[in-house]
A and B are shown apart, each in its own frame.
Chain A
Amino acid sequence: MKSQKTQSAINTYLKETGGWVASQLEACTRCGICAEACHFYQALGNPEYAPVWKLEPLRRAYEQRFTVAGKFKLALGLDKKLADSDLEHWSKIVYEACTVCNKCAHVCPMGIQLGPLIHAVRAGMAAAGLVPADLAEATEKQKTIGSPLGVTDELWRERIDWITDEWEAEIPVDKVGAESLVVFTSIELMKFPDNLAAIAKILNKAGESWTVSSTGREVVNFGYFEADEELTRLFMHRVFKAAEELGVKRIIISECGHAYDAFRWAAPNLMKVPKGVEIVHISEYIHHLWKTGRLKLKEGAFDGETITFHDSCKIQRRGGIIKQPRELLRQLAPKSFVEMTPNKEQSLCCGGGGGVISIKEADANRYAVFEMKMAQLQEIQAKAVCMVCSNCRLQFVDSVGHFNLPIKVHGLAELVSKALI
């Protein structure tokens, strides 16, 4: 049955389907190699988790509405129309078994951008109101309260004050005329305050003129997880507005992958972005400060235990910040820094990104994926792992606890702040 829901989803797919989408859908040869890349398929073995299968709703909408062959196939009974039940079925697949990490695009012999296309599939789900309840709830919180974790303005101020006291790190709030606006995630604020404090310390040490904003205080974008365009825009708009009001030159995205992806690559195509405002990720900025001599780091501060680096999908594979964190780590632990394989662009995903970690039903999926990550860590006998994404870090901390592993999980900024001279 086709209801208003399905109609909205189909409309969204039609809207999304430009030459960019169509040419890639047409290029697919149904070879199934993308399944090799997908950590959810590899971990769970469910063929429905093959990335190309996740595009099925988009493919059907495109073929059946825009092509003669698709209509022909329908008439011959070789294909099915999209129904409510289909969308519900795929909603679980695209939200609970996909981190939109885009590794599939790197193995696809045709180079199809499966990640962005799955994002488009999610957009249809969002329009149809078929987002998993937990994710929808967090999004609603971000929309109304301003943070997916439900951090209210008062709570936010309290936490900032508390961090300032606890770590003796000064955090300028709403300082007009600052050069950089640093935007944190609620995850850091609530769960990894050490990371927030570390960033503050580093920036202060480097003599950076920076500030945080009380209105643009949330960098996480649950609209982007959902792939709801309007909400994505709304959440980014809050930050951009704050940046304009404060007159900053750059927005520093804290350790958050999705946010970096949204601000750096998606925003210019979705909305008006303030001119002359540069978007940088904290890890590349720290690297920049270190390289320009504004920071001095103790060499070998973390030598001893084997430490490795986890590449995040949005910051490394899709963000290109690959060599900077590695250079920093080689400075911090030249002897004990060991790479996992595969790494860099080919790295294995943590399993919690793309909103998966906020969905309770997906816990089994994400733990299964983490077992593969675990095997990778054990292969090099890592005692500690470092990363530049709070979402990954949340998944690591949670899963390390779940599996009772003797592995320490660090944010890069946290390590850097401890090695400051």
Chain B
Amino acid sequence: MKEKTIYEHLREKGVSRRDFLKLCGTIAGMMGLEFVAPVKAPGKSLSPSPEEIVAQALKTRPKVPIIWLEFQDCAGCSEAISRSSSPLLSNLVLNDIAIEYHETLMAASGFQAERAKEECLKKYYGKYVLVVEGSPTLAEDGIYCTVAGKSNLDLLKEAASGAAAVIATGNCACFGGIPAAHPNPTRAVGVADLIQDKPVINIPGCPAIPEVTTGTILHFLIMGQLPKTDQLKRPLPFYGNTVHDHCLRRPFYEAGKFAGSFDDEGAKKGYCLYQLGCKGPTTYNACAGLKWERGLSYPVQSGHPCLGCSEPHFWDGGGFYQGQSAPTIRLDKGSTATLVGAGVAVGAGLAGVNALKKSRAKKELKKQQASEARAETENKKEG
């Protein structure tokens, strides 16, 4: 039996052609597909418009099965997806593109669930997308996170071996996140550190913005490959700009107007939150553009500084409310005193040596003077 395309699947569910095209436009916009000017240049054929590309893909491609694994996590990213306020998209991903296995969301449990996963891995071998939420842990062969008696490392390797692509969602899966915060007792790492032989993409955030996760999945579905990424393997359409770049408080930053505390006059006037520890300038994420809750708001808009949750080691960045410019390792009074003490000790040591040198110089000068005086008196006698 030929697999049903997504379009057919949607038609069956009663989605009208008009709604379908609207959906295609939304998806194209979200993915950041470029629009090409509809002017036909001589000798050049008009390239298809973004929604045409999307529509074409949805009409011809079958569903992409998704295996969703969770390791050291809080399920926050799953929560974010399931409660995403763009129901169209999450429905699409949850139901139509089809998440075949998700420990938190699936109804099945226990052996039943495990069996479902095994079947799925076999059935879709080489075709499915593996989404990982939560950080794998290396310490003591991964015993700190086991499911059904298998360590997370084995689970990850097993699932990754047949995956067409791996998507790490949330800061934990990308960079280790909270479990990797100092002193990182479980030796949590990012998925990309372990999976080298498959295309891996990172969707960091705490949680990852659901539209970004779904957008990336759709990109894979539509274009057949993962989007272009930056150095940290983050998809450029969503992580190409900093939170600071598109910040709605940016004019206040440029004018040097800052809120000094959460409830001062500046805060009430909506001034820049830089002094309250905003990490916006170095945080690459789509918060300021996509926002949350159907574009309702995002932390900086609501009056809280950006924590930098899409950047590696954001827990160890010197404190959320600590100015970004402040050194992350602080010298406390004790260590400063020690350092001063060390300097003083060495200085005093050298001063001692110098004092010796000085007294020797004085002695030599005296000796010389005495001998000169002696020579002079002898000269006089002779004279």
Q: List the interface of chain A (C-beta within 8 A of B).
A: 7-8, 10-12, 14-15, 17, 65-68, 127, 230
B368 close to A14 (CB less than 8 A) = no
Bound Cα distance from A68 to B350, whole angstroms: 9
B369 close to A14 (CB less than 8 A) = no
List 16 additional contacts besides A14-B357, A65-B354; criterion CB under 8 Å. Answer: A8-B364, A8-B365, A8-B368, A11-B361, A11-B362, A15-B361, A15-B362, A15-B365, A66-B350, A66-B354, A66-B357, A67-B350, A68-B350, A127-B365, A127-B368, A230-B369
Bound Cα distance from A8 to B364, whole angstroms: 8
A7 close to B364 (CB less than 8 A) = yes
In the assembled complex, the CB of A202 is this many whole angstroms from the nearest CB of chain B, namely 42
Mark B186-218 against chain A: 1 for CB-CB distance below 8 A, else 0: 000000000000000000000000000000000
B361 close to A10 (CB less than 8 A) = yes
Contacts of A12 in B (CB 8 A): 361, 365
Q: Which of B325-383 contact A (CB under 8 A)?
A: 350, 354, 357-358, 361-362, 364-365, 368-369
In the assembled complex, the CB of B370 is this many whole angstroms from the nearest CB of chain A, namely 11
Contacts of B361 in A (CB 8 A): 10-12, 14-15
Contacts of A65 in B (CB 8 A): 354, 357
Bound Cα distance from A7 to B358, whole angstroms: 13
Least CB separation from A129: chain B residue: B372
Interface residues of B, count at CB 8 A: 10
Q: List the interface of chain B (C-beta within 8 A of A).
A: 350, 354, 357-358, 361-362, 364-365, 368-369
Contacts of A10 in B (CB 8 A): 361
Bound Cα distance from A20 to B368, whole angstroms: 26
13 inter-chain pairs at a CB distance below 8 angstroms, sorted by A residue, are A8-B368, A11-B361, A11-B364, A12-B365, A14-B357, A14-B361, A15-B358, A15-B361, A15-B362, A65-B354, A66-B357, A127-B368, A230-B369
In the assembled complex, the CB of B200 is this many whole angstroms from the nearest CB of chain A, namely 49
B358 close to A14 (CB less than 8 A) = yes
Least CB separation from A7: chain B residue: B364
In the assembled complex, the CB of A294 is this many whole angstroms from the nearest CB of chain B, namely 46
Contacts of B350 in A (CB 8 A): 66-68
Contact partner, B358, options A17, A67, A230, Cβ 8 Å: A17
Chain A residues touching B, majority SS? helix
In the assembled complex, the CB of B342 is this many whole angstroms from the nearest CB of chain A, namely 15
Least CB separation from A62: chain B residue: B354
In the assembled complex, the CB of A226 is this many whole angstroms from the nearest CB of chain B, namely 14
Least CB separation from B354: chain A residue: A66
Contacts of B358 in A (CB 8 A): 14-15, 17
Contacts of B368 in A (CB 8 A): 8, 127
Closest 7 CB pairs of A and B: A11-B361, A14-B361, A66-B354, A11-B365, A15-B362, A11-B364, A15-B361
Q: Which of A8, A11, A17, A66 has the most CB of B within 10 A?
A: A11
Contacts of B364 in A (CB 8 A): 7-8, 11
Bound Cα distance from A230 to B365, whole angstroms: 11
Bound Cα distance from A56 to B358, whole angstroms: 19
Contacts of A230 in B (CB 8 A): 369
Bound Cα distance from A67 to B357, whole angstroms: 12
In the assembled complex, the CB of B196 is this many whole angstroms from the nearest CB of chain A, namely 46
Contacts of B354 in A (CB 8 A): 65-66
In the assembled complex, the CB of A11 is this many whole angstroms from the nearest CB of chain B, namely 4
Bound Cα distance from A12 to B357, whole angstroms: 11
Bound Cα distance from A67 to B362, whole angstroms: 19
Bound Cα distance from A170 to B350, whole angstroms: 62
Contacts of B365 in A (CB 8 A): 8, 11-12, 15, 127
Contacts of A15 in B (CB 8 A): 358, 361-362, 365
Bound Cα distance from A8 to B369, whole angstroms: 10
Bound Cα distance from A12 to B365, whole angstroms: 7
Least CB separation from A17: chain B residue: B358
In the assembled complex, the CB of A74 is this many whole angstroms from the nearest CB of chain B, namely 16
Contacts of A7 in B (CB 8 A): 364
In the assembled complex, the CB of B106 is this many whole angstroms from the nearest CB of chain A, namely 69
Contacts of B357 in A (CB 8 A): 14, 65-66
Least CB separation from A19: chain B residue: B351
Least CB separation from B373: chain A residue: A230
Bound Cα distance from A37 to B81, whole angstroms: 76
In the assembled complex, the CB of A198 is this many whole angstroms from the nearest CB of chain B, namely 40
In the assembled complex, the CB of A175 is this many whole angstroms from the nearest CB of chain B, namely 34
Q: Which of A12, A14, A17, A67 has the most CB of B within 10 A?
A: A14
Bound Cα distance from A11 to B358, whole angstroms: 8
Least CB separation from A11: chain B residue: B361
Bound Cα distance from A15 to B361, whole angstroms: 6
Bound Cα distance from A8 to B367, whole angstroms: 11
Bound Cα distance from A230 to B354, whole angstroms: 24
Contacts of A66 in B (CB 8 A): 350, 354, 357
In the assembled complex, the CB of A64 is this many whole angstroms from the nearest CB of chain B, namely 11
In the assembled complex, the CB of A9 is this many whole angstroms from the nearest CB of chain B, namely 10
Bound Cα distance from A11 to B359, whole angstroms: 9
In the assembled complex, the CB of A128 is this many whole angstroms from the nearest CB of chain B, namely 10
In the assembled complex, the CB of A21 is this many whole angstroms from the nearest CB of chain B, namely 11
Bound Cα distance from A43 to B364, whole angstroms: 40
Bound Cα distance from A65 to B369, whole angstroms: 22
In the assembled complex, the CB of A169 is this many whole angstroms from the nearest CB of chain B, namely 39
Bound Cα distance from A296 to B369, whole angstroms: 52
Bound Cα distance from A128 to B369, whole angstroms: 11
In the assembled complex, the CB of B147 is this many whole angstroms from the nearest CB of chain A, namely 61
Least CB separation from B353: chain A residue: A66
Least CB separation from B363: chain A residue: A11
In the assembled complex, the CB of A36 is this many whole angstroms from the nearest CB of chain B, namely 34
In the assembled complex, the CB of B369 is this many whole angstroms from the nearest CB of chain A, namely 7
Q: Which of B350, B358, B361 has the most CB of A within 10 A?
A: B361
In the assembled complex, the CB of A145 is this many whole angstroms from the nearest CB of chain B, namely 14
Least CB separation from B350: chain A residue: A68
In the assembled complex, the CB of B360 is this many whole angstroms from the nearest CB of chain A, namely 8
In the assembled complex, the CB of A379 is this many whole angstroms from the nearest CB of chain B, namely 48
Contacts of A11 in B (CB 8 A): 361-362, 364-365
Contacts of B369 in A (CB 8 A): 230
In the assembled complex, the CB of A3 is this many whole angstroms from the nearest CB of chain B, namely 13
Bound Cα distance from A17 to B368, whole angstroms: 19
In the assembled complex, the CB of B338 is this many whole angstroms from the nearest CB of chain A, namely 21
Bound Cα distance from A12 to B358, whole angstroms: 9
Bound Cα distance from A20 to B364, whole angstroms: 22
In the assembled complex, the CB of A53 is this many whole angstroms from the nearest CB of chain B, namely 24
Bound Cα distance from A220 to B350, whole angstroms: 41
In the assembled complex, the CB of A66 is this many whole angstroms from the nearest CB of chain B, namely 5
Contacts of A14 in B (CB 8 A): 357-358, 361
In the assembled complex, the CB of A161 is this many whole angstroms from the nearest CB of chain B, namely 31
Bound Cα distance from A210 to B120, whole angstroms: 122
Bound Cα distance from A67 to B364, whole angstroms: 21
Bound Cα distance from A14 to B357, whole angstroms: 8
In the assembled complex, the CB of B19 is this many whole angstroms from the nearest CB of chain A, namely 75
Bound Cα distance from A11 to B364, whole angstroms: 7
Least CB separation from A4: chain B residue: B368
Bound Cα distance from A7 to B81, whole angstroms: 83
Bound Cα distance from A65 to B368, whole angstroms: 20
